[in-house]
A and B are shown apart, each in its own frame.
Chain A
Amino acid sequence: MKIIIIGCGRVGAKLANDFAEEGHHVSVVDQRQTAFRRLPSGFRGQLVLGTGIDEDVLRNAGIQQADVFIAVTENDNTNIMAAQIAQVIYRVPKVILRIYDPDRAEIYRELGLTVICPTRTVAEMIEHAVRDHVVPTEPS
């Protein structure tokens, strides 16, 4: 699969590395060159310097051939705009984005985007752990 990841933070870098190791064609987009340092030295994917809301940058990253588009920058609105470009304009089959703000997460879920809201997910896990004395398990 051809996978584009917007934002090379901790989550973006991990996703990029995992998918590349599985043999997928990965392009990572970030506007800071230094962000790419989070990737291991043997990373085989494509690095694209630029903002994920610029169509020229996205085309450089190969959005026209992409099967999966993931927007995980630190900025909710950047993720929202990038994901909508991918879904509405380029019709990428699978578009997933992160939105920290639960209100906005709900709005864009209603608009048909696949939204991950870590704020809510983490809060629910902690509440669950507190209430039921269950320690949430994470995949190792």
Chain B
Amino acid sequence: MYIIVVGGGKVGYYLTKTLVNEGYEVFLIEKNPVKVQLYRDRFGAIVMQGDGAEVATLAAAGAGRADVVIAVTGDDEDNLVICQVARERFGVRRTIARVNNPKNEELFRRLGIDVTVSQTNVILSLIEQQIPERPFVHLLALRHADLAIVEAKVAAESPVVHQPIWQLPLPPESIITAILRRGELIIPTGQTMIEPGDELIIVTKQQREAELRELLCVPATR
């Protein structure tokens, strides 16, 4: 398998190193001549100086026979164009773009990039899953439906405490699907009363998460 990596920052460097060690045929394109010289000393002739968004550069790198092009520069617009040029001009079947601004993930998918990697989102989810003390945890994003499953621990000061679920001022498009209370799982009905310290599992729209956090976890989050 032939893989072209564009962008020799830290991500591109370690990616290239790892892929080489795994035995793949790899080629790295980097703009900065100083970095190129440094990487040539380490990797040999598989490093080339150039602008990976240019047709001539990709052609020289042999994009016509590449199985995968991975764009990991620090600029989302460059990563997008690199992948699109690789696909449209060279028929590269699999294009992977690093997304620096997580808001661009959906956009890139709609513009035909096969896989997007958002470090911001990956790190955020790692943080949220590994710190159990957090009162509001994003458990899962269901991509196409724009849905999210979140876990929220009810603060004693929250206005929802000692209220039945049917009376709660929940944001629209949000449903409490389960309650964890003192180690016990409760499947709630409208009559179920909320107690302080309850851990709620909620299915909601992604854009409602902030409202839910405000309502349930005040003021513990900040």
Please indicate which of the listed interface residues A55, A75, A103, A111 has the most CB atoms of chain B within 10 Å of its own CB: A103
Determine if A78 and B55 form an interchain contact, defined as CB atoms under 8 angstroms apart: no
B69-80 vs A, CB cutoff 8 Å, 1 = contact: the mask equals: 000000111101
Contact residue among A53, A88, A101 (Cβ-Cβ distance under 8 Å from B76): A53
Q: How large is the interface on A (under 10, 10 to 19, 20 to 34, 35 or more residues)?
A: 20 to 34
Q: Which of B70-104 contact A (CB under 8 A)?
A: 75-78, 80-81, 84-85, 88-89, 101, 103-104
How far apart sit A80 and B81, CA to CA, in the bound complex (Å)?
8
Contacts of B81 in A (CB 8 A): 76-77, 80-81, 104
Does residue B186 face the partner (Cβ distance < 8 Å to A)? Answer: no
Find out whether the CB atom of A107 lies under 8 angstroms from the CB atom of B89: yes
* A104 partner residues in chain B, CB cutoff 8 A: 53-55, 81, 85
B107 at the interface (CB under 8 A from A): yes
| Number of inter-chain CB pairs below 8 Å | 54
- The dominant DSSP class at the A interface is helix
- Interface 1/0s, chain B 115-133, versus A by CB < 8 A? 0000000000000000000
Chain B residues in 8 Å Cβ range of A101? 53-54
Residues A81 and B76 in contact in the complex (CB < 8 Å), given A89-B107, A104-B53, A104-B55: yes
Chain B residue numbers with a CB within 8 Å of A53 are: 76-77, 104
| B54 contact set on A, CB distance < 8 A | 101, 103-104
Say yes or no: A85 contacts B80, CB within 8 Å.
no
B88 and A111 contact, CB distance less than 8 A = yes
- Min distance, Cβ A78 to any Cβ of chain B, angstroms: 5
A positions within 8 Å CB-CB of B: 53-56, 75-78, 80-81, 84-85, 88-89, 101, 103-104, 107, 110-111
